[in-house]
């Protein structure tokens, strides 16, 4: 690298918050130095690629920055972790000038400040398409335990935060695929679900405190993510599809309640949290979550049936569906039906 590149890195770095209590050496050395102070760490990596996770120019560059960090932080939320540091690799095509790269940095900074994350390191390289890779480190909070996908037990109630299907509906609006009759606030709210996803950090904390035994973020669609949780925990999940908390306006976008449900099941990117907890903990969890400003809805329960199986109230198997990042196509039973077909890809967390 040479002076031009290092100058740009310095200007990008200026935009980004750094300097939390755990950070001993921040961006600018071979590696950042952090002091976890005895806490267990939760670490995740997420890549966002142009044409797969977003398209230009439909996505403002600031939204690309926001989304890259929000998607990685959503994984930490799903562990009930306290966000710590983020490390960002930016691969930028030559057509993007410095002003554009700073817009991406501003999007990263917006989320980093709001969620109290230090951007402690990074890498910058040329590429033919825009890509961001974000690694995030979070920490176990005193008095809580990090929550994996594997701790659901038969008899647990299945709960989900917030509303589903909004991000996929927002993508359809963004792509101009549909022209539904929506009032302006509803339309804006759906677009924001796609362009300004919010990692449910406080909700994850509340669910961990409330005793959630298993948790996952809804990044690939409720069907796929419930399937992961069921498989990791070795339980069957029964989901009451009538009780899914659908985002306002999703039905108008998807041509009815059934379409909105498909967006919820297969659309992904809602970044809500799906968790299992013992039924006697439900009331306390709802109160805890409401204190954190979120809605919590019980949508089903776990039993000792076939591990990994999802079924509806009528006993019908629900096929986990989701966008296939590797094939560029949707698969599963509702293939090509409800959900958007272009870039509605959840950020995978293998």
Secondary structure (3-state) at 299: strand
Nearer to a second copy by C-beta: 122 or 170?
122
Binding to a second copy (CB under 8 A) within 106-125 occurs at 120-125
Q: Is 34 in the site for a second copy (CB under 8 A)?
A: yes
The conformation of residue 30, written as its DSSP 8-state character, comes to S
Q: Is 306 in the site for a second copy (CB under 8 A)?
A: no
Q: Is 43 in the site for a second copy (CB under 8 A)?
A: yes
Q: Is 104 in the site for a second copy (CB under 8 A)?
A: no
Q: Is 2 in the site for a second copy (CB under 8 A)?
A: yes
Interface residue with a second copy, options 16, 18, 52, 299 (CB under 8 A): 52
Residue 77 Cβ vs a second copy, minimum distance, rounded to whole Å: 8
Distance CA 280, CA 297 (A): 15
Binding to a second copy (CB under 8 A) within 131-170 occurs at 131, 133, 135-138, 140, 146, 148-150
Look at the chain and count its residues: 350
Helices (H), 153-213: 166-175, 184-195, 201-210
Q: Is 21 in the site for a second copy (CB under 8 A)?
A: no
Residue 13 to residues 73, 127, 195, 302, Cα–Cα distance (Å)? 19, 20, 23, 46
Distance CA 4, CA 56 (A): 26
Residue 158 Cβ vs a second copy, minimum distance, rounded to whole Å: 17
Is the distance from CB of 121 to CB of 32 less than 8 angstroms? yes
Binding to a second copy (CB under 8 A) within 61-100 occurs at 75-76, 78-79, 81, 85, 87-92, 94
What are the residues facing 301 on neighbouring strands? 157, 238
Interface residue with a second copy, options 19, 99, 126, 293 (CB under 8 A): 126
CA dihedral 197, 199, 202, 207 (to 10 degrees): 120
Residue 62 Cβ vs a second copy, minimum distance, rounded to whole Å: 20
Is the distance from CB of 84 to CB of 34 less than 8 angstroms? yes
Which one of the spans 152-160, 249-257, 288-296, 320-328 is the region binding a second copy (CB under 8 A)? 320-328
Binding to a second copy (CB under 8 A) within 184-223 occurs at 215-217, 220
């Amino acid at each position: 690298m040479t002076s031009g590149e290092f100058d740009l890195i310095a200007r990008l770095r200026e935009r980004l918050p750094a300097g939390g209590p755990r950070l001993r050496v921040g961006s600018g050395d071979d590696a950042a130095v952090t002091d976890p102070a005895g806490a267990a760490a939760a670490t995740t990596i997420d890549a966002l690629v142009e044409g797969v996770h977003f398209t230009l120019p439909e996505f403002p560059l600031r939204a690309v920055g926001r989304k890259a960090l929000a998607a990685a932080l959503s994984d930490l939320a799903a562990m009930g972790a306290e966000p710590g540091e983020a490390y960002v690799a930016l691969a930028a095509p030559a057509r993007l000038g410095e002003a554009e790269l700073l817009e991406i940095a501003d999007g990263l900074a917006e989320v980093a400040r709001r969620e109290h994350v230090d951007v402690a390191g990074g890498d910058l390289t040329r590429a033919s398409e825009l890509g961001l890779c974000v690694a995030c480190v979070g920490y176990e909070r005193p008095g809580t335990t990090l929550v994996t996908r594997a701790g659901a037990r038969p008899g647990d109630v299945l709960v989900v935060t917030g509303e589903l299907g909004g991000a996929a509906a927002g993508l359809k609006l963004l792509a101009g695929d549909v022209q539904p009759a929506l009032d302006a606030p509803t339309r804006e709210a759906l677009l924001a679900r796609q362009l300004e996803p919010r990692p449910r950090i406080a909700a994850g904390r509340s669910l961990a405190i409330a005793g959630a035994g298993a948790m996952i973020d809804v990044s690939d669609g409720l069907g796929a993510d419930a399937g992961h949780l069921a498989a990791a925990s070795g339980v069957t999940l029964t989901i009451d599809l009538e009780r899914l908390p659908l985002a306002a306006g999703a039905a108008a976008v998807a041509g009815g309640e059934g379409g909105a449900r498909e967006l919820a099941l297969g659309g992904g990117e809602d970044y809500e949290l799906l968790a299992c907890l013992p039924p006697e903990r439900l009331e306390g969890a709802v109160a805890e979550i409401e204190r954190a400003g979120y809605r919590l809805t019980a949508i089903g329960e776990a039993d000792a049936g076939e591990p990994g199986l999802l079924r509806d109230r009528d006993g019908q198997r629900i096929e986990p569906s989701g966008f296939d990042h590797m094939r560029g196509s949707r698969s599963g039973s509702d293939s090509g039906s409800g959900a958007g077909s272009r870039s509605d890809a959840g950020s995978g967390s293998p």
